[in-house]
């Protein structure tokens, strides 16, 4: 299998503080990779480096074939990103958001037209596509934001707590979309605070104090810690000293 994300001894220091401490791992094509850790463990710093937003202090990372240190702009063009906090422009309509994201990613007019139709058809948005995003329910926004993160057909998509605060049915429908994208060969890199969602990942890493303390399939991790849920694995591992 070809790694789409390849991380080698990647570190980031802020003054004396080591936010990410020489982490190494690989994520394969079409894999759903859960990137877990307590608040302050270094997840956000690592994600920012992998998406070309922050220059590493040392070590290397390749994302979608590009070096995050020397080819940050190419990395940004070839990844998708979605977070619960910011994804869509509330004062634009659904259609305008689609066109805006298509434009940002440099798609041609024809491509934008085709993909916009694809998104509208898939999510049955024809009747609401001219409504302002702020007027549609949160569940729809999340699905639309995910579709837009994929509009330029990236090899890998970073999802930063994409399901925070959504209702339990929409949360599961959102995972259906994740599986579908992974099945189409998109690599999924996801963070979540819902431990049941950790069970849905192909592999999971748990960061503690800037280090990756555990990495494996959910069943491997449960077996090696001799517990019956990912929540229990997390409770055993995640309390480092970062939050003290």
Q: Give contact residues for other proteins (rule: CB under 8 A).
A: 37-40, 137-138, 161, 164-170, 172, 175, 179, 193-196, 198-200, 218-219, 229-231, 234-235, 238-239, 242-243
CB of 180 to other proteins, least distance (A): 10
Kindly provide the b/e burial profile for residues 6-40, where b requires at least 16 CB atoms within 10 angstroms of the residue's own CB: bbeebbbeeeeebbbbebebbbeebbbbbbbbbeb
Q: Judged by CB, which is closer to other proteins: 72, or 94?
A: 94
Q: Judged by CB, which is closer to other proteins: 151, or 212?
A: 212
Q: Residues 95, 116: contact at Cβ < 8 Å?
A: yes
The CB density around residue 205, as the number of other CB atoms within 10 Å, is 21
Q: Judged by CB, which is closer to other proteins: 148, or 238?
A: 238
CB of 95 to other proteins, least distance (A): 22
Q: Judged by CB, which is closer to other proteins: 28, or 44?
A: 44
Q: Residues 107, 151: contact at Cβ < 8 Å?
A: yes
CB of 213 to other proteins, least distance (A): 13
Place of tokens 């937003």: 53
CB of 111 to other proteins, least distance (A): 31
Q: Is 195 exposed, middle or buried (0-12, 13-18, 19+ CB in 10 A)?
A: middle
């Amino acid at each position: 299998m070809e790694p789409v994300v390849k991380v080698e001894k990647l570190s980031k220091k802020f003054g004396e503080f080591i936010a990410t401490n020489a982490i190494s791992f690989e994520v394969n094509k079409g894999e759903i990779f859960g990137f877990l850790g307590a608040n302050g463990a270094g997840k956000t710093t690592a994600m920012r480096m992998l998406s070309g937003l922050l220059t590493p202090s040392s070590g290397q990372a390749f994302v979608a074939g590009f070096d995050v240190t020397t080819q940050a702009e190419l990395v940004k063009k070839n990844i998708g990103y979605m977070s619960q906090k910011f994804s869509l422009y509330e004062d634009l309509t659904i259609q305008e958001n689609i066109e805006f994201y298509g434009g940002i990613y440099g798609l041609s007019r024809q491509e934008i037209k085709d993909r916009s139709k694809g998104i509208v058809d898939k999510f049955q948005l024809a009747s609401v596509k001219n409504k302002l995003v702020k007027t549609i329910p949160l569940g729809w926004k999340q699905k639309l934001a995910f579709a837009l993160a994929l509009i330029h057909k990236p090899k890998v998509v970073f999802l930063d707590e994409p399901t925070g605060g959504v209702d339990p049915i929409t949360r599961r429908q959102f995972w259906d979309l994740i599986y579908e994208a992974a099945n189409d060969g998109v690599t999924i890199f996801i963070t979540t605070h819902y431990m049941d969602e950790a069970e849905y990942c192909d592999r999971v890493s748990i960061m503690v104090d800037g280090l990756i303390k555990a990495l494996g399939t959910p069943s491997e991790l449960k077996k090696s810690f001799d517990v019956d849920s990912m929540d229990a694995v997390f409770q055993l591992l995640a309390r480092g000293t970062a939050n003290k």
